[in-house]
Amino acid sequence: MSEVISGVVVMIDGAGLDRVQILLIVGRARRQELAARNQKLIMSACWADCHPAESIDPYQLDLPGGDRPIRPGGEGTPELAGFAVAEFGVELGLSIGITERFIGEALDVRHRLPRIWGRVSPRDRGLPRPTDRP
């Protein structure tokens, strides 16, 4: 028995499935999981693009505890508004520190390891990018 949850078919009960069906379902689940991880990595870099350091209101820079630019990735990666990390972390279900490292890893891959980024990003496979509009 299966159920659709948020547009994804989820197996609730595997009774009555044979070995081939089970392996097909597990393989599909593995591919969906990989696609979801890649999508989160790509969206992390996109989130950083939406919140560049230049987007910080200058007034914030004068306030104690105000927003500040951070560089979560290594040398050669862009800075972003520090407060943007918390909002993204809530959606990921991660702490601020882990989210900052995750965004940093995404920026590192995109800016410092472009060949690996090409394997993760749908852009090089002829698939629509998240920013493409119909």
Q: Is the pLDDT of residue 5 over 90?
A: no
* pLDDT value for 103: 97
Give me the half-sphere count of Cα atoms (radius 13 Å) on the Cβ side of residue 69: 13
- 91-132 per-position pLDDT tens digit: 999 999 999 999 999 999 999 999 999 888 765 455 444 444
pTM of the shown model: 0.77
CB count in 10 Å sphere of residue 89 = 18
Give tens-digit pLDDT for 72-87: 999 999 999 999 999 9
Helices (H), 12-93: 19-50, 58-62, 84-92
For 8-65, the pLDDT digits (tens) are 666 667 778 888 988 988 899 899 999 999 999 999 999 999 999 999 999 988 899 9
Comparing CA positions, the residue from 1, 86, 129, 104 lying closest to residue 44 is: 104
